[in-house]
Amino acid sequence: MGSGIGRELFTMRGGSLEDGSQLKVRLVLGRSDRFVPFSEAERLRDLLKNAGYDVTLDEFEGGHEVPDDALGRAVTWLRQLVDDR
């Protein structure tokens, strides 16, 4: 994978990627990000989903910033996680 996002990144210190599969993950990325290609976010989403994670990929039109509406969705998502505990 281009930026080094792969299974090896998560297992460098031993263990397995599946060890954290009970975690919920939210990825927020602009489709025009010049620093992190959107395809890498899609690969990471797929890698984590295949390992059993509950993954949400929140994409937006834009670059390497998080617009207010995407930030609002992330905050709502986090609040829901806390409320569900």
Domain membership flag for residue 61: yes
Looking at the 3D structure of the chain, how many domains does it have?
Answer: 1
Between residues 51 and 8, the one the model is more confident about: 51
> Which segments of the chain are extended strands (E)?
24-30, 54-60
Tell me the two tokens of residue 54.
Answer: 């509950």
Calpha distance 63→60 (Å, rounded)? 9
Domain membership flag for residue 2: no
Domain membership flag for residue 23: yes
Q: Out of 11-15, 44-48, 64-68, which region has the weakest mean confidence (pLDDT)?
A: 11-15
Domain membership flag for residue 1: no
Q: What is the CATH number of the domain that holds 63?
A: 3.40.50.1820
Calpha distance 72→1 (Å, rounded)? 30
Q: In 3D, which of 49, 43, 40, 41 has the Cα closest to residue 17? A: 49
pLDDT in tens, 21-64: 888 999 999 999 999 999 999 999 999 999 999 999 999 999 99
Residue-range definition of the domain harbouring residue 78: 7-84
Is the pLDDT at 69 greater than 80? The verdict is yes
Domain membership flag for residue 22: yes
Burial of 2 (0-12, 13-18, 19+ CB in 10 A): exposed
At residue 57, the pLDDT reads 97
At residue 1, the pLDDT reads 39
